[in-house]
Amino acid sequence: MRSVKKQGNLITSICNVFSMCVLITSCFSSGVYADPVKAQKAYDNKDFDTAFDEYLKDVKAGDTNSWPIFESLFIFGYGSIEAAMEAKNIITRSAEKDDVNSQYMLAQYYGKRLGKENQAASFHWYLKAANLGHVEAQHVVSVKYEKGTNGVGLNIEKSIFWLTKAAENKDKEAQSQLGSKFIMGNGVEKDVHKAIHWHKRAANNGMIKSNYMIGQIYVLRLVNTESGSADYKEAYNWFLKGAELGDVDSQFQVAELYFNGKGVTQDTGQAIKWYIASSRQNYAKSHYALGYLYSRRTGFTVDEKKSHEHFLAGAKLGYAMSQNELAVIYRLGIGVPRDIRQAEYWFLKAAEQGFTHSQYVLGNFYSSGKDVEPNPTKAKKWFKLAADGGHAKAKTALEKFQ
């Protein structure tokens, strides 16, 4: 009941509930003793059970300022049993008077505090609040109908209905999700123009990722253009918006467009800038791109140390192409001492992800015995996997084992 996760969620649960507070405090008799200082002191000391009991007194006395913290403590399970039951009864009476914030709070109470066996009651109050226009409740109801779990029957039509309601009521996440559904035809007919419409509304409403999604629509040629080709210029405009707001996918795409000169004048310096920006957010593909740029093959300024650093970072993030390049570096001793064991290790990491070139190299390793102990069984295994993946040289090498 007192987990770190719950404590962390206290801050993010604060919402605008003053209309609810008016309804609730109207239920109380005057003269209730309250001590806001005591409540705040207990909260600051992370004595959340005592804080809840004291905030309950404050709320009963009509202190609207106490309500947001009280709400959070109630939902996440703090307070004595007696105080919690009293609060539940108070909030239930308010919810039954059609106060949507009380209904939403009660839905969270049943869903989060009381667990799986109370999901039906939780959904009942979410649906009540949704029907009265509570935006967050509308979104939750949509998700529950889409998943069809915890006693709520799967109903995609109703899910889309409530998602649209939430989107129309300016829920940015709902707007973005609805836009993506129109891209994929998930529960709705594919409609790229509606997809752009909803993602634009989401982007304008502060949903950063929607800028990336619109850019992708233009890159993937989902919008018909006069030439029939991708509209990289329009894509660049949207990716740049997302990139400047810190979206890592958008930053990588801006770098790619600059590097390849698509939609914008080719500029390796700008490409480097955005690759670095996204790599600082642990974007594996950007580490690979930087490793490649700093290697000997690009004509760009060679920096073997930086190349190794970025390939290593990408490899540690699980990116197969970086793992393969790092293996090559260790095998040939490029900028680092030659280390066959490290080479074998990273070739194996990439091969296990289905990277056919690494599989082929391992086949050569174990068949020739030049750098490692020969092992025909392992050689055949890796040649076959590479051949099955379409590697032409591996198919030829495999014939020797037939």
Q: What's the confidence (pLDDT) of residue 29? A: 39
DSSP classification of residue 113: I
Kindly state whether residue 376 falls inside one of the protein's structural domains. no
Residue 10 confidence (pLDDT): 37
pLDDT digit string (tens) for 241-290? 999 999 999 999 999 999 999 999 999 999 999 999 999 999 999 999 99
Q: Is 149 part of a structural domain of the chain?
A: no
Is residue 397 a contact partner of residue 382, using CB atoms and an 8 Å limit? no
Question: What residue type is assigned to position 117 of the chain?
Answer: E
Task: Give the pLDDT confidence of 327-337 residue by residue, as tens digits.
Answer: 999 999 999 99
For residue 78, being part of any structural domain is answered with yes
Reduced DSSP (H G I as helix, E B as strand, rest coil) percent helix, strand, coil of the chain, to 5: 70, 0, 30
Domain end position, chosen among 264, 281, 298: 281
Domain check: are 187 and 91 in the same one? no
- Note whether residue 142 is domain-resident: no
Answer yes or no: are the C-beta atoms of 17 and 101 closer than 8 Å: yes
Answer whether residue 389 shows pLDDT above 60.
yes
Residues 171 and 138: their CA atoms lie apart, in Å, by 9
Question: For residue 227, what pLDDT band results from cuts at 50, 70 and 90?
Answer: low
SS (H, E, C) 279-338: HCCCCHHHHHHHHHHCCCCCCCCCCHHHHHHHHHHHHHCCCHHHHHHHHHHHHHCCCCCC
What is the model's pLDDT at position 226?
Answer: 54
Beta-carbon contacts of 162 under 8 Å, excluding residues fewer than 6 positions away, are 130, 138, 139, 141, 142, 145
Residues 175 and 274 in one domain: yes
Say yes or no: 186 and 275 in one domain.
yes
Q: Range of 54's domain?
A: 1-97
How many whole angstroms separate alpha carbon 33 and alpha carbon 316? 59
Same domain, 83 and 177: no
Is there a domain that residue 175 lies in? yes
270 and 181 fall within a common domain: yes
* Residue 47 lies inside a defined structural domain of this protein: yes
Residue 13 lies in a domain: yes
Judged by average pLDDT, the poorest of 143-152, 182-191, 307-316 is 143-152
CATH of the domain at 267: 1.25.40.10
User: Residue 88 contacts by C-beta under 8 Å, 6 or more apart in sequence?
Assistant: 106, 109
Query: Considering 97, 124, 146, which residue would you say is the last residue of a domain?
Result: 97
What is the C-alpha to C-alpha distance for residues 384 and 402, in angstroms, rounded to an integer?
A: 11
Of 142, 64, 144, the closest CA to residue 110 belongs to 144
- The residue from 281, 310, 329 where one domain ends is 281
Number of domains in the chain: 2
- For residues 179 and 262, membership in a common domain is answered with yes
The DSSP 8-state label assigned to residue 399 in this structure reads: G
Do 174 and 274 lie in one domain? The reply is: yes
Any domain includes 227: yes
The string over 39-51, giving b where at least 16 C-beta atoms fall within 10 Å of a residue's C-beta and e elsewhere, is: bbebbeeeebbbb
> Is 48:73 a contact under the CB 8 Å cutoff?
yes
For 172-188, what is the mean pLDDT? Answer: 97
Q: What is this structure's pTM?
A: 0.80
